Structures are given as C-alpha cells and as structure tokens.
Structure 1
Amino acid sequence: MTTPSAGAAGSFVLPDATAYASAVEQARAAAAAYYEGGTSVLDDDAYDRLVRAITAYEGEHPDEVLADSPSGKVAGGAVVGDVPHTVPMLSLDNVFSDEEFTTWAASLERRIGRAVASWNVQPKLDGLAIAARYEDGRLARLVTRGDGTAGEDVSHAIGTIEGLPTALSRPVTLEVRGEVLMTHAQFEYANTVRTEHGGAPFANPRNAAAGTLRAKDRAYTVPMTFFCYGLLPLPGTDQDLADEFEAAAHGAVMDRAAGLGINTPASTAVPGTVVASVDEVHARVKEIAALRAELPFGIDGIVVKADLAADQQQAGSGSRAPRWAVAFKLPAVEKITKLLAVEWNVGRTGIVAPRAVLQPVDIDGSTVTFATLHNPADITRRDLRLGDHVMVYKAGDIIPRIEAPVAHLRTGEETAIVFPAECPQCGSGIDTSEQRWRCERGRNCHLVAALAYAAGRDQLDIEGLGHSRVVQLVDAGLVESLPDLFDRLTRDQLLGLERMGETSTDNLLAALDRARRQPLSRVLCALGVRGTGRSMSRRIARHFATMDAIRAADAEAMQQVEGIGVEKAPVIVAELAELAGQIDRLAAAGLSMTEPGATPPAAPAEDADTPEDAAATGPLAGMKVVVTGAMTGPLESLSRNQMNELVERAGGKSSGSVSKNTSLVVAGEGAGAKRAKAEALGVRLMTPDEFAELVSDLLG
C-alpha cells in the first residue's frame, strides 16, 4: 500500500490516488474513534497535517475526491445522532500563520464586497461542541454536534456541567451553543476517580470530556465546564429576542449570554475582544497565545469572526463551515509518542525520581526526549507500561509530562515498569513511606552533588570548588559533609592533593573565607533543604531574618511564608531538625546566620489588618518583579539569582512568571514569551539600564 510521506516542515505529501485513499480512511477512522469514544490513533497535530495533505491533493485532483473525505465534512461528524439541529452546527476552517489569516481575511472582504467592519477574537477552547436547548428558562436537552445536521442526545449529563445552568436568569426559550471541556484540575480529578474504579486513565482533558459526556450509568460522576460561543432562536423563542439575535453583533450576543447566567470566555484571562483591523487581530492572537500556558483549561487556537451580523449574513456558509469565521490554530502542545524506558535518578537530597525516556517527538518547536514521572505512585495510578504509546504534554516553560497511556493502542507486548529495590546511586535501602521515595542515606547518598551544589554561584559561591575538586576531596576522605569545608579542611591537607599548589590552595581558602560572609538565604539554600530552592530560601530568610527564628518555627509558623502550604511546611521543619548538627557547626565556623535588611516577624495584634508587605521599604516596595532575558550594562555580571536578590533587597518580590499581578518586568536581550505576555497584560516594562538606575543605591 502506498502511504503518505513526510514533506516540508513535517507535512504529509500524498504521491498518488492510493496514498490519498489510504489517508482518507486513516482520517475517517481517527475521527470516528475520537468522536465516538474520546480516543484516537492520531494526536491533533498529526490529524491536522493529514487533513491538509488530503485537501491539497484534492485541490490538484478535483475529479478524485472521495465521499468520505474529511475536507467536506463537519468536524465531529462521525457520530450521527437522531436529534436534528434547527440550524446546521458547522465546524471551522483553519489557518496556521499570520500570512494565511491575512489571505483568508482578504478573500472574505472580496466576497462581501467591503471591508469587514470589526473582528471578534476569542480563544478556541479544546473541548466538545454541544447545543443546549432551554424552554422557558429551563435546560431541557443537550445535543452533540454529530454530523452537523443531527446529533446525539446527551441530556443525561444535565446538572454535571459547570457554567451551563439548569435554569437561566430569565424564562426564555433559546438554544445555547458552546464547548464542554475539562479544566486541568477537573481532568486530574477525573483520572483519579476513574482509576480508583478500575478504569484506564484518559489520555488528555479533551478525550476525558468527550468520553464523560457520553457515559451513562457510571458508578461515579466527574465535573465538566461549559463555555458559550453562540445563541440561537428556537420555535417558541420570543420574536423580539429572535430579532435581536438576527441583528446583533457577536460580542453583543455573548454579553447577552453572560447576562443570562451562562459561562463565556469573558470570565477568563482571555475574554473575547472586538478589534478593528487585521493587524489588531494578529496582535490579539499573539496576546492569547502568550497566556496559553497559564490558562486553567486547554486551547488549541483562536477563533476569529466577522463581528457584525450584516457581514456574517453577506458572507454566508459552506457545507461544512461558515465563510465569516476561521480558527487560527496554535502549535500543538501535546503529542502521542512511545515510552521507551524509565530512568531512576537520585537527587542531591536523596530523592529517587523516575524520568521517562521517550521516542523523540517535536512539540511546540522543540524535540522532547524525556518527560516528568512524578513518583512511583503516579506511575501506578496512570498504569504506565514500557512500550506504551503515551500522550505527552508541554506548554510554555513547563517541563514535558506524560498525561496517560493511550490504552487503546496497546498491542499486548507492553511490559511493567520495574521499580528499584535499592538506591540506584549507592545500593542502600529506599524509604518508601512517602509518595516520593528517598535513599535511606538521604543527602549523604549524593554527597558530591550536594557539595558541588552548595559551592555553586547562587549558593555560597566558592570559587575553585568545582565538581572535580569536590570529587577529589570526597575520594580522599577529607570532606564528608558541608561543615567539613569550614571546620575540618586544612591548608596542609589541600597541599597534599594532586594539582593543588600553594596559589590554588590559598585561593580556595580565601574563597571559603568569603563564603562565611554570604547572607543567611544562601547558607539555607546551600544546605539543600527538601522543598526549597533559591527563591524559597530567600523567602524563608527574609520572613524570619535569623537562623534561630527559622529553627524555632513550627509547621504552622512556616506556613506563613509565601508559597509554603500545609504539605510542604512539616517537611521543611523536619529537614531543619535533621540538619541541626550541620547548622550548629556552620554557625560555629563563622558562617552568617542572619539576612541583611530583614527583621523577624512580630506577633500580630489581634485587630491588625495590615498587609504582610506593609513594612517593605525601598524603590520596589510592594512590587512583584519578573526578570527575563540577558542583562546588560551595570547588571551584566549578575546571575539570575543575584538579580532576584537585588529585587528583594529593594523591597520587591521576585517571581518567575508574568501574570496580571506582576508590577514590573525587567526585559533584557532575548526576552521572548515573558516580554510578550507583559505587553499583552499591560505590565510595566524596563530595560536593564533603566532598572539599574532605579536601584542604583543598592549596586555596590
């Protein structure tokens, strides 16, 4: 059989009629599997490329178009229900670039004989389209898209979908159209409940929503969420209301829906927006794309519509899609690939962490070979097996993770993942009492990694104590813990090591002496307390001000630090108790146990309502600051950690992500997505030189 071959940019090329027929059958089977059961042998990106290849072949061979071709059918048409739609429920054509959208917009304006008056831009939600019919304000029936002409009755799901009320705020008769989806949180909950009841986990939120919407007589229920994208009159709709729908702009219709108590994108960080030009459409598309990674639900593109009813009516519709709307597709953030192996790595604190080795796959412009597997319990819950086809998800700066196995693609040759019986680093026993397994030797298991980390630039910054030198010290038996560097190591011992002359020895001893003057936050970070890192160590140090105050804190007091919750607090408290001996020795060796500029928290008055940051002073007092890109000028020599320390000494809070709560973004050379997101949200931007001037008093 002739099959599709890969062309430019990973697209499919169909060389002949046999390949074309095979591609049509493959696309038809994939659509049927997805729309009937929420599963598919292809991920979205592969399906889109296959359909584009089919469409391209049909453009060159119009006499060979097959009746089953997806190019002429409504997406979702695999399930032909028995409930007729009052108005065809069409899908959308796609564009994949600014240039393609500009071409499409020009063709629409030629069709209607004038410029489009305004455009409506809104997120393309990654869910399942349904029609909800209300009679006198009560939700009476739910119908899937089906083949666009008739759909499947899924009214059994009434009452399980958030954002789709069973009663409207007014007793009107109308049809509400929109998308049913699962938020990321709902998806995690759905898979937890599903696996507890013996079912295979869903591959992704979209498949979970599709399968859940159709499921009847389950022993459990899981929530879903609805977002409206349109209102239509029904027989029995008040004539004035029907006339309003006929004449209103799309934005006004969405406002009407929200007023009736129906969920719309207006309630999210990516509300529908009306713009006046193609250039403004491009800008808004980029704004929504920049926010994609932080949304609590999935989007796979942006829908762009002619906003005015007159423009829509003039343009009309084809057999499968309206001519006045298009989907601007975004790069895929999830793909199906194969799980080849699982590696077990031991971190510097002794955590034994699994990592998935994948068949390389391109996701959102980068090749993914490894993915996160949180812990053994997570592997068991997801029922992962070696050789599984798995759905891998990646968005923005998030480390790729496996959502779930694609269970229906199993061949029976998959094998169980073997968990280690002993520490893969040192051969000691493993403490399996918590979800995250840990070598019984703890941080001593990975002594070299722990010491090299402590000596790093963003911790104690001990110049000359790199990985190879640490190995040398450990192998010689001179250093067995961090305090040994300061209270045990002697000049004569160093001179006795290979490649350690007097100059190298004196330089290292001087670097160790400078490390004694590092602030508490860096000492705390160097200790490698589980549940903390550079940012969290700074927060703890600035909150408590002294090591004595930190060590005196119980779990409840530790929870007062931003970012420390009920689960992390007792772990940190226990770790500090475990490290008590090392902390005492470091203090005795002269290392700093205070944080400059910080004061211990005072006991709050019973009637105090002052915000936590009220006492913050400095040019950035009360501001949340994100630093991105390469710094230049006076800041060029500063590491990212040093920049964050500078922010906090100036009274601000450093953050790694841009949100609507961000006060300032310092954007250096090469700043990309974070700068774009700041621009989209209207967050204040500064160059490195401008920021250096603002905090000049703190630059020594």
Structure 2
Amino acid sequence: MNTPAAVIVDVAAYAQAVEDAVKASAAYYAGGTSVLDDDSYDRLVRGIAAWEADHPDQVLSNSPTGKVAGGAVEGDVPHTVAMLSLDNVFSPEEFTAWTASLARRVGHDVERFSVEPKLDGLAVAARYIGGRLRQLITRGNGTAGEDVSHAIGTIEGLPDELAEPVTVEVRGEVLMTTAQFEHGNEVRTGHGGQPFANPRGAAAGTLRAKERAYTVPMTFFGYGLLPLADTEQALAVRLGELSHSDLMVQAAAYGVNTTATTAVPGTTATSVEQVLARVQEIAALRADLPFGIDGIVIKADLAADQQTAGSGTRAPRWAIAYKLPAVEKITRLLEVEWNVGRTGIIAPRAVLEPVVIDGATITYATLHNPADITRRDLRLGDHVMVHRAGDVIPRIEAPVAHLRTGDEQPIVFPEACPRCGADIDTSEQRWRCGNGRNCHLVAALSYASGRDQLDIEGLGTTRIVQLVGAGLVADLADLFALTREQLLGLERMGETSTDNLLAAIAVAKAQPLSRVLCALGVRGTGRSMSRRIARHFATMDNIRAADAETMQQVEGIGTEKAPSIVAELAELAPLIDKLVAAGVNMTEPGATPPSAAATTGDTDADGEIAGAAGGPLAGMTVVVTGTMTGILEKLSRNQMNELIERAGGRSSSSVSKKTTLVVAGDGAGSKRAKAETLGIRLATPDEFAALVVDFVD
C-alpha cells in the first residue's frame, strides 16, 4: 500500500512541514520520543519531497530530504565510511522503477539482489580491534556519530569478543524485542520513569542513557561488515570483494547475530519477481515475529554492482527500503469501558479517537487489566501509541507522555461490578465479579452449549434467557435436570421443540471430557488446552486430584497458569459434583491415565498424551490454516483438531520447527509462508482428507 504524501499548498506550509519534520527527527534520535508516528513522518517527508521537486529554487537548507536520518544529533566520532540512510519505496511499481534506474547506473540488469527484513531499531557501528569490541557509535549525521560505548555488554547478539582476532567494523541495528520492551517498561516504571511508547523509541533512549539505576537488555542484528584503517591488508581486500550475502555469512562466522537466526533470514533473489515474492513472504510473517520490522531492505548483492552504482549524500544508490504499512499510530484515549465476561472477569477496553492502521479503522483497543493501566500510567485524554499487526487485537503500547497538556484525567476504576453491582475480587491482576459466572450466566451458558463445547442444538441465547428468567436454570448442571413439563410450560415451546431440546441435552451428557472441561470455562483453558488436559489425565477425578506441579506436566501450562487452573477447579467443585450426579460423562475416550501411561509409553517427552496409536498422523504435529474444502468443509477448527488427534497426531495453532505438517486451504497466509520458509511439508485439504479419511466422522 502506497503511503500518500502530505499535501503542501504554499511556501509557508512547506517551511512549517520542514520545521515539523526536523523537530520530530531530533526528538526521536535524541531521546527516543517524537510528536509523530512513523506513518505520519513518512507522509510529511514525501510531501516535502514533492514540493521540492516542483519548486527546486525554494529548497531549504535544513530540509530532511537531503540528510541522513538522525542528522539532527551531533556526533564527534568520525565514521570510516559514511553511514547513510536508505531511500524508500512503497509499492511494487516504485520498486520496479528503482531497479530500472539501478540497471541504468550499472550498465546492465542486476543479476542478484539480497533481501532482508528492515529491523525497526537504531543503526550503530561496532568497532573490533584484534577481535575485541572497543567502541560503539551511532549513525549520527552519517559522517560522525555519538560514542555509546557505555552500552557495551548490555546488547545481546553483539559479542565482546569475535571468534577470530580480526580488526573490523560491524554495522547493524540495535532494537528491543517485544519481550525486552515489556520487561524494560516494567523496570522503567518501577523506577518512577514514564513508559516508552514503542520498542524503537525504547531502544534509542536506552542506548544513549548513562548512569541509570537499572539496565535493560537490547538485541543486535548485523547487516554490514567492513575494514578499519588497521585491518590486515589481505582481509581488507577480501571484505571489499565479497558480496553482501557472503559478508553476512562471514559476520555470523565471527559470532555476530544476523537475521539468519530468525524466521525471516536474509536471502538472495535473481529477479524482480523473486524479490517481490520474498517481500510478501516477510510481510506475511511480520505479525508473528518477536521484534518489529517496518519494511524490507533490498540491495544489489554483488560488490562490483555496489561500487559502480555509488552513493549520494544521503543514501546508497544500490539499496532501497521497501516500506510496509505502519502497524503503530498515535491517537487519543477518549474513555475506558468496563465489560464483564462470561466467567465474571471485568475487562477494561479503551475507546479511541478513530485511527486507520494497515487499512483498518481502529476505535477500540485492549487494556488487559487495571494493573496494566496503572503500570503504563494511562490517563483519559492521553495521546497513546496503538499497535495492530495482522489480525492481532489492537493494543495500547503506552501514553506519549511528552504530548501531555495537563488536561488529562485519571482513569477511574469501578468499585462494584459494572454489570450486577456485586463486590469485586481484586486479589489477582485480572479483576472478577464476586458472583463469578453467575454475573453473566446467560453468556456462560451460551458458551457452554456452543458447537465446540457441549454442542446442544436448539439451545440458543434467546432460549437460555427464557430459562434463566423463569428460574429453571441457575447453573450449567441445571440444564440436565430440565423436565418435559417444565419446558412445555414456557412460551413458544411446543412438543416437537421440547422433545428435540431434551434429546440434544441427552446427547450432550455423552460428550467427551475435553468438551465438558471446555464448557466449564476455566480461565486459561480454551478448546486446545482443554483437550490437552483431558488427554493427559483421562478422567475428571484425575484432573481434580492434580496439584499445581502435576498440572504443569501438561504441555503449555506453566508456573503461573497451573495454580490458577487448580484453584478454579476447586472453586467449581460443587458444579462438577452436580454434573456428575446428572450423569454427564467425565472421561476422555482413548486417553490413558498418567499412572498407566507411564508403563505403557503413551506419553511424549513433554508428558502429553499422544494421539491414537498407529494412526496415519502418529508422531506428527499438524497445523491447519485457511479455508477447508471437500469433506473437511463443514468441520469447525475445533473439530479439525479433534480429527487430528483421533488420527494419532497433535494439533497446534502455530507453526514452528516442531511442526511436521501444515494443512493449507484457500486464503492461507502467514502460517503457510512460515512453513515454506522453514521447509515444512504442506498439504492441500483434499490431500489431508485422503490421509485421514478413515477417522472422519
């Protein structure tokens, strides 16, 4: 998607735009803050460039179009070779035009490109003398940068000593991963500081910070390798002759972190079509990456082509950044809504001034819990950085504190349940109504009777409201005690509909334990986790007897989730007892209790019960993505996962190196792309159906 240029109508607007862009750049590169988000800055600079193209005699000397990014920051350490920025393209058409321009410069079509993710961080140069890291320098104005050697030892992926005692300069990007950013903001706010608005700003501010009372880790990815003045002559010549892709191999051999260790490693391409295909692959994986990227860097790979193309004052002519749509924007927090979920959880939701992010208009964002609001120091009226990537629910990263006017107001937390007025249990980070599930009984019962839980046909929300309103149902177990006479006494319940509903309830009694457990709605256990727990323990009695340590033997249940699950199951004991008394099934077909599995070998290395022994998917981990067709078309995703387990496999929602097979239907996107990148076997829905046809109900 092409980023539109800001419209500049006259010379006064042009001068103001230049001033705004320079201030935004200076604020960001000096301290990691900015009055503009990336998309707004790009639009502004493109507008400035368009005005200057039409008015070349009116170009201001401080215009950002002719300067290296970060040029507003003074630096006193000269670079051995200019450390330039990259020009941008925003569409396949613009990229194709750039390749044509590059071909004219070098005198032939470029035969090989390198393609790498454009990491969203801060460019630095790391100087190694005899293999030891001696100096770390920011890009600065491209000619000279700041010495930030005080940060040595706090950056993962940038070794203090190389694998060989060489004298070289490694160039790359310092950033914060998502996990490092979250940890960093917790540490920062714990010391009384304002949270950073986004990971890139956090990295920029942290890299320059001196004499802090705390340290926050960062990560380095190398993207360049060049000789210094004291580099051995033979090595200097060799580095000057290597292609970019070979330089990255050499950097990795020295022990420097590169994108080769990620799900989006640098690759080479021999045509425009291959480059654009790789751009789409990386873009599809963007939302799942543990760090931010804002584009893809494409370079002429061969050293000879780079030398012939040369560089301008701001950017090399042999490289370009293909920018992706922004996933972060600044907008205002207007109010906070407090919603009560089916289990009684009271969840805050941010109401935003509408903002368009990656083609979608965002008006709401998650706020997680009251503790998160307090930690981030959010206030009504704040300008906030909102993040959305792919289908991820939009979230507020942090307030943009330097834009505060003083008119912002504290967010008021509820003192009683906003739905029923009961007391609130604030003992955990996620607050809960004192009435628990009974606060939102209709929602809890609607969920429990849904297709992927007990699948009670004919029991929709309208009927549940009627049953609750008539006082016939006060919890899930009461559904199984309903009589024909009671139902016939309700409005719009004839004999046929009554008999059909009772038959559906009778069928629900025989559902496997995994579905019963899911219907209970225990926090931290959705459909997949309920199946894992049920297959691990085999019976409800075994589940209820498990302590936190035993519960952690189930794959995906960690030290934080296990105690919560155990505690909530204990809380649900009266309801479970009523379900047992009503004749509801409490066993998982085909599963073996842990004690028996220990002697029969039915558990895997993680303690998870494997699928049906000897099935066609035995030992396989399968991910399903996209729209299914043929005999699989009518299966819900939950039913697909159950099918996988009946056929001996394990279902998973994410693609990783442990994945054996990805079933990719129509519309498969990032998961298919990741599977191709990792070399994982792919199957169409028809191919998969042929494999498991004997296990389809």
User: If the length of structure 1 is used for normalisation, what is the TM-score?
Assistant: 0.96
Q: Shift in Å at residue 642 of structure 1?
A: 1.2
Q: Shift in Å at residue 8 of structure 1?
A: 9.1
In 1: Cα distance, 2:487 partner to 2:604 partner: 54
SS at match of 1:12: coil
Partner of residue 31 from structure 1, selected from 22, 25, 35: 25
In 2: Cα distance, 1:268 partner to 1:400 partner: 24
Match for residue 43 of structure 2?
49
Match for residue 284 of structure 2?
290
In 1: Cα distance, 2:71 partner to 2:24 partner: 12
Q: Shift in Å at residue 677 of structure 1?
A: 3.2
Contact 1:454 1:526 in 2 (8 A): yes
2:626 equivalent to 1:629: yes
In 2: Cα distance, 1:393 partner to 1:530 partner: 25
User: One-letter code of the match for 2:654?
Assistant: S
Partner of residue 657 from structure 1, selected from 654, 658, 661: 654
In 2: Cα distance, 1:678 partner to 1:225 partner: 25
User: One-letter code of the match for 1:580?
Assistant: A
SS at match of 2:335: strand
Match for residue 573 of structure 1?
566
2:174 equivalent to 1:177: no
2:450 equivalent to 1:453: no
2:426 equivalent to 1:429: no
SS at match of 1:512: helix
Write the deviation string for residues 488-536 of structure 1: whole angstroms up to 9, x where unpaired.
x221111111111222211111111111121111111111112111111
Write the deviation string for residues 360-402 of structure 1: whole angstroms up to 9, x where unpaired.
1122222221111111111101100011111111223321111
Partner of residue 500 from structure 1, selected from 493, 499, 504: 493
Q: Shift in Å at residue 134 of structure 1?
A: 2.1
User: One-letter code of the match for 2:678?
Assistant: L
In 1: Cα distance, 2:262 partner to 2:668 partner: 26
Partner of residue 129 from structure 1, selected from 109, 112, 123: 123
SS at match of 1:426: coil
User: One-letter code of the match for 1:529?
Assistant: V
Match for residue 685 of structure 2?
688
Match for residue 3 of structure 1?
none
Match for residue 532 of structure 2?
539
User: One-letter code of the match for 2:479?
Assistant: L
Write the deviation string for residues 286-334 of structure 1: whole angstroms up to 9, x where unpaired.
2222222222211111111111110000000011000000111111111
Residues 490-529 of structure 1 correspond to what in structure 2 (within 5 A)?
490-529=483-522
Partner of residue 398 from structure 2, selected from 396, 404, 428: 404
Partner of residue 469 from structure 1, selected from 463, 466, 473: 463
Q: Shift in Å at residue 145 of structure 1?
A: 0.8
Residues 188-587 of structure 1 correspond to what in structure 2 (within 5 A)?
188-487=182-481, 489-587=482-580
Partner of residue 117 from structure 1, selected from 111, 116, 122: 111
In 1: Cα distance, 2:332 partner to 2:213 partner: 32
Q: Shift in Å at residue 462 of structure 1?
A: 1.1
User: One-letter code of the match for 2:680?
Assistant: V
In 1: Cα distance, 2:138 partner to 2:84 partner: 12
Q: Shift in Å at residue 140 of structure 1?
A: 2.0
In 2: Cα distance, 1:557 partner to 1:133 partner: 50
In 1: Cα distance, 2:335 partner to 2:13 partner: 34
User: If the length of structure 2 is used for normalisation, what is the TM-score?
Assistant: 0.96
User: One-letter code of the match for 1:40?
Assistant: S
Contact 1:460 1:522 in 2 (8 A): yes
Give the superposed CA RMSD.
1.9
Contact 2:627 2:668 in 1 (8 A): yes
Segments of structure 2 that go 5 or more residues without pairing to the other structure are none
User: One-letter code of the match for 1:288?
Assistant: I
Contact 2:86 2:315 in 1 (8 A): yes
Q: Shift in Å at residue 606 of structure 1?
A: 11
Segments of structure 1 that go 5 or more residues without pairing to the other structure are 1-6
In 2: Cα distance, 1:512 partner to 1:458 partner: 15
Match for residue 91 of structure 2?
97
State the number of aligned residues: 693
Contact 1:14 1:57 in 2 (8 A): yes
User: One-letter code of the match for 2:617?
Assistant: L
User: One-letter code of the match for 2:110?
Assistant: V
SS at match of 1:543: helix
1:398 and 1:8, CA in 2 relative to 1: closer, same or farther beyond 3 A? closer
Q: Shift in Å at residue 29 of structure 1?
A: 1.0
In 2: Cα distance, 1:668 partner to 1:280 partner: 23
SS at match of 1:392: strand
Q: Shift in Å at residue 117 of structure 1?
A: 2.8
Q: Shift in Å at residue 661 of structure 1?
A: 2.6
Q: Shift in Å at residue 689 of structure 1?
A: 2.4
Could you tell which deviates more after superposition, 585-594 or 415-424? 585-594
Q: Shift in Å at residue 604 of structure 1?
A: 7.2
Match for residue 101 of structure 2?
107
Aligned-residue sequence identity (percent) comes to: 75
Partner of residue 86 from structure 1, selected from 80, 84, 98: 80
SS at match of 2:595: coil
Q: Shift in Å at residue 9 of structure 1?
A: 6.7
In 1: Cα distance, 2:57 partner to 2:115 partner: 37
2:696 equivalent to 1:699: yes
User: One-letter code of the match for 1:483?
Assistant: A
SS at match of 1:458: coil
SS at match of 2:594: coil
In 1: Cα distance, 2:585 partner to 2:501 partner: 19
Contact 1:613 1:622 in 2 (8 A): no
2:9 equivalent to 1:12: no
Write the deviation string for residues 437-470 of structure 1: whole angstroms up to 9, x where unpaired.
1111111111111111111111111111111111
User: One-letter code of the match for 2:347?
Assistant: A
1:383 and 1:562, CA in 2 relative to 1: closer, same or farther beyond 3 A? same
SS at match of 2:100: helix
Write the deviation string for residues 181-222 of structure 1: whole angstroms up to 9, x where unpaired.
111111111111111111000011110111011111111111
Q: Shift in Å at residue 603 of structure 1?
A: 6.0
1:185 and 1:498, CA in 2 relative to 1: closer, same or farther beyond 3 A? same
Contact 1:614 1:622 in 2 (8 A): no
In 2: Cα distance, 1:375 partner to 1:610 partner: 36
In 2: Cα distance, 1:209 partner to 1:361 partner: 25
Q: Shift in Å at residue 669 of structure 1?
A: 3.0
SS at match of 2:214: coil
In 2: Cα distance, 1:215 partner to 1:328 partner: 31
Q: Shift in Å at residue 16 of structure 1?
A: 2.3
Contact 1:520 1:593 in 2 (8 A): yes
User: One-letter code of the match for 2:232?
Assistant: D
User: One-letter code of the match for 2:168?
Assistant: L
Q: Shift in Å at residue 168 of structure 1?
A: 2.3
Q: Shift in Å at residue 166 of structure 1?
A: 2.2
2:616 equivalent to 1:619: yes
Could you tell which deviates more after superposition, 473-482 or 664-673? 664-673
Could you tell which deviates more after superposition, 334-343 or 631-640? 631-640
Match for residue 598 of structure 1?
591
